[in-house]
Structure 1
Amino acid sequence: MTQTSSASSSPESACLQQTLRPQVQAFSAYVPGLSIAEIMERHGLAQVIKLASNENPLGASPVVMRRVRESAGSAFRYPQAGTPRLRKAIAAKLGVTPEMIVPGNGSDEIIDLLIRVRARPESEHFLAFSPCFSIYTLQSALQGVAARQVPLNPDFSFPFEQLASLATPQTALAFVTNPDNPSGHAVPAQAICQFVESLPHSCIVVVDEAYVDFALPVETYSMLPHLQKYPNVVVLRTFSKCYGLAGLRLGYGVMHPWLADALMRVRLPFSVNLLAEEAGLAALEDDVFYAETVRVVAEGREQLTAGLTALGCNVQPSLANFLLFRLPAGCALTARQVFEALLARGVIIRPLESYNLPDALRVSVGTAEENAVFLDALEAVLGNRS
Structure 2
Amino acid sequence: MAPEHAPTEQNPPSPPGEEAIRLRPALDALPAYVAGRPAPQREDLTVYKVSSNESPFGPIDSVRQAVIAALEGANRYPDMMNQQLRQALAAEHGVTPEEIVVSTGAVAVTGDLVRAVVDPSDEVVFPWRSFEAYPILVGAQGGVSRQIPLTETFEHDLDAMVAAVTDRTTLMILCTPNNPTGPILTTEQVRSVLGRVPSHVVVALDEAYREFVEPELRIDAEGLFREFPNLLVLRTFSKAHGLAGLRVGYALAHPRLADALLKVTLPFGTNLLAQAAALASLEPEVMALMTERTAHLRSERSRVMAGLAEQGWELPASQGNFVFFPLGEQCQEFTDFCADRGLVVRRYGDDGVRITIAEDEANDRILEVCGAWRQR
TM-score > 0.5 by shorter chain:
yes
Partner of 1:4: none
Any idea what SS the aligned residue of 1:210 has?
coil
CA distance in 2, matches of 1:242, 1:316: 21
CA contact (8 A) 1:103 1:251 kept: yes
Partner of 2:51: 52
Partner of 2:78: 79
Q: Which amino acid aligns with 1:311?
A: Q
Q: Which amino acid aligns with 1:34?
A: R
How many Å apart are 1:61 and its aligned residue? 1.9
1:344 aligns with 2:340: yes
Aligned residue pairs total 361
Q: Give the TM-score normalised by structure 1.
A: 0.88
CA contact (8 A) 2:86 2:97 kept: yes
Any idea what SS the aligned residue of 1:246 has?
coil
How many Å apart are 1:44 and its aligned residue? 5.8
Deviations 1:146-190 (A, max 9, x none): 011221110112221111112122211001001111111012111
How many Å apart are 1:220 and its aligned residue? 4.1
Partner of 1:16: 20
CA contact (8 A) 2:31 2:135 kept: no
Partner of 1:271: 269
Task: Report which stretch shifted further, 137-146 or 45-54.
Answer: 45-54
Aligned pairs for 1:145-160 within 5 A: 145-160=143-158
Any idea what SS the aligned residue of 1:148 has?
strand
What are the ranges of 5 or more consecutive residues in structure 1 without an aligned counterpart?
1-9
Aligned pairs for 1:204-219 within 5 A: 204-217=202-215
How many Å apart are 1:29 and its aligned residue? 2.3
How many Å apart are 1:314 and its aligned residue? 1.8
Aligned pairs for 1:98-113 within 5 A: 98-113=97-112
CA 1:163–1:170 in 2, change beyond 3 Å: closer, same or farther? same
Any idea what SS the aligned residue of 2:98 has?
helix
Any idea what SS the aligned residue of 1:115 has?
helix
Any idea what SS the aligned residue of 1:16 has?
coil
CA 1:109–1:13 in 2, change beyond 3 Å: closer, same or farther? farther
CA distance in 1, matches of 2:31, 2:152: 27
Q: Give the TM-score normalised by structure 2.
A: 0.90
Q: Which amino acid aligns with 1:86?
A: L
Deviations 1:255-280 (A, max 9, x none): 10111111113312110000000010
Partner of 1:93: 92
Deviations 1:198-220 (A, max 9, x none): 11111000110001112222674
CA contact (8 A) 1:60 1:244 kept: yes
CA 1:335–1:219 in 2, change beyond 3 Å: closer, same or farther? closer
CA distance in 2, matches of 1:143, 1:254: 22
Any idea what SS the aligned residue of 1:127 has?
strand
Q: Which amino acid aligns with 2:335?
A: F
Aligned pairs for 1:236-315 within 5 A: 236-285=234-283, 286-315=286-315
CA contact (8 A) 2:155 2:178 kept: no
Deviations 1:231-290 (A, max 9, x none): 111000000111000111110011101111111133121100000000101111112221
CA contact (8 A) 1:48 1:348 kept: yes
Task: Report which stretch shifted further, 170-179 or 126-135.
Answer: 126-135
What are the ranges of 5 or more consecutive residues in structure 2 without an aligned counterpart?
1-13
CA 1:326–1:265 in 2, change beyond 3 Å: closer, same or farther? closer
Any idea what SS the aligned residue of 2:234 has?
strand
1:117 aligns with 2:116: yes
Partner of 2:160: 162
Partner of 1:317: 317
Any idea what SS the aligned residue of 1:53 has?
coil
How many Å apart are 1:59 and its aligned residue? 2.7
CA distance in 1, matches of 2:263, 2:355: 39
How many Å apart are 1:71 and its aligned residue? 1.9
CA contact (8 A) 1:169 1:200 kept: no
CA distance in 1, matches of 2:251, 2:290: 20
CA contact (8 A) 1:169 1:202 kept: no
CA contact (8 A) 2:36 2:52 kept: yes
Partner of 2:30: 27
Deviations 1:325-367 (A, max 9, x none): 356x9xxx933222212222221122221xx51xx32211112
Equivalent of residue 358 in structure 2, options 360, 366, 380 = 366
Any idea what SS the aligned residue of 1:28 has?
coil
